Amino acid sequence: MTAPAVEMHAYSVSFGEFQALQEVNLSVPQGAFVAIVGPNGAGKSTLLKALLGLERGLLRDGPTQVSGTVRVMGLPPRQVPPGWVGYVPQVKGFDRSFPALALEVVVSGLRRRWPFIITAQERKKAEAMLDKVGALALANRRLGRLSGGELQRVYLARSLIREPRLLLLDEPATGVDVVGEADLYRHLEAYQAERGATVLMITHDWEAAQHHASAVLVLNRRVVGYGPPEQVLCHECLSQAFGHVGHGHNLVLGGRA
């Protein structure tokens, strides 16, 4: 039997006195597209970092305590072969003064270290991936000259270059215009169809979650809801997670208003 792409059992993370995740139970089948929604500070990025095996390395305000289990394709995250998982971090706070070219960033995803010299083969592969996400023209541009949306595309190409089986994206559409956002979902869906990959994506955009995800995880330190979008994006779940659901959005919510 195929192992789920992601499995968590009673998984908790505390940073000092603060509990960021409480007893999370989650099973994501391979090939799913899961949108993770929840308020600021709900533990969404912490959950992705747990899947990358990073939660213990991020001490800030005291010791990190972790309990419960996490499995990625049946393995503890630190035993997962590096090429199996691709990660697109939040780019909004990135320091872009680093004098790197877009192409070098993409090749760094192939090597998992900084490429001081790029081989012809690596260049070809990186250019092909940039082309795939509509960003070939950016290959020789400096990071400092890229817009937020352009930088997102470069990091998407970086995350896809090893053809991962699991793709983790932390708010990939933030700062991207509508055309760029539509392109992003098109690239993700095409990659999924081609490779049968699993996608977990943090988003604050409920409409995107409703239209593109096969399942939605509503998180507020604990799992508030997990299931098909039409079931989980309802007033009950969202008001439990957010405390209040505003009226200024166009999402047609399921459940009772």
Ligand X SMILES: Nc1ncnc2c1ncn2[C@@H]1O[C@H](COP(=O)(O)OP(=O)(O)OP(=O)(O)O)[C@@H](O)[C@H]1O
Considering only 58, 128, 190, 193, the residue that binds ligand X (CB under 6 A) is: 58
How many CB atoms sit inside 10 A of residue 141's CB?
15
Structure tokens at 18: 């603060």
Where does residue 174 rank: exposed (0-12), middle (13-18), buried (19+ CB within 10 A)? middle
Considering only 1, 61, 93, 97, the residue that binds ligand X (CB under 6 A) is: 61
In whole angstroms, what is the distance from residue 38 CA to residue 203 CA?
A: 8
Q: How far is the CB of 50 from ligand X (least distance, A)?
A: 10
Q: Which stretch binds ligand X (CB under 6 A): 12-20, 25-33, 182-190, 207-215?
A: 12-20
**Order of strands across the sheet with 6-15?**
18-28, 6-15, 64-72
Please, which residue, 24 or 133, has the CB nearer to ligand X? 24
Q: How far is the CB of 129 from ligand X (least distance, A)?
A: 27
151 binds ligand X (CB under 6 A): no
Structure tokens at 212: 């593109």
Please, which residue, 2 or 40, has the CB nearer to ligand X? 40
Please, which residue, 40 or 250, has the CB nearer to ligand X? 40
H or E segment and range at residue 207:
helix 206-212
Q: How far is the CB of 216 from ligand X (least distance, A)?
A: 15
102 binds ligand X (CB under 6 A): no
- Please provide the size of the chain in residues: 257
Q: How far is the CB of 51 from ligand X (least distance, A)?
A: 12
# residues near ligand X by CB under 6 A: 14
In whole angstroms, what is the distance from residue 226 CA to residue 112 CA?
A: 33
Where does residue 116 rank: exposed (0-12), middle (13-18), buried (19+ CB within 10 A)? exposed
> What x-and-dash track marks residues 28-57 binding ligand X by CB under 6 A?
----------x-xxxxxxx-----------
60 binds ligand X (CB under 6 A): yes
Phi, psi (degrees; rounded to nearest 5) at 6: -140, 135
199 binds ligand X (CB under 6 A): no
Please, which residue, 21 or 135, has the CB nearer to ligand X? 21
Q: How far is the CB of 45 from ligand X (least distance, A)?
A: 3
Q: How far is the CB of 47 from ligand X (least distance, A)?
A: 7
196 binds ligand X (CB under 6 A): no
Beta strand pairing call for 215-220 and 33-37: parallel
Query: Using the 8-state DSSP alphabet, how is residue 161 labeled?
Result: T
Considering only 5, 6, 8, 20, the residue that binds ligand X (CB under 6 A) is: 20
Cα distances (angstroms) measured from residue 240 to each of 200, 219, 220: 22, 10, 9
Give me the residues that bind ligand X (CB under 6 A), please: 15, 18, 20, 38, 40-46, 58, 60-61
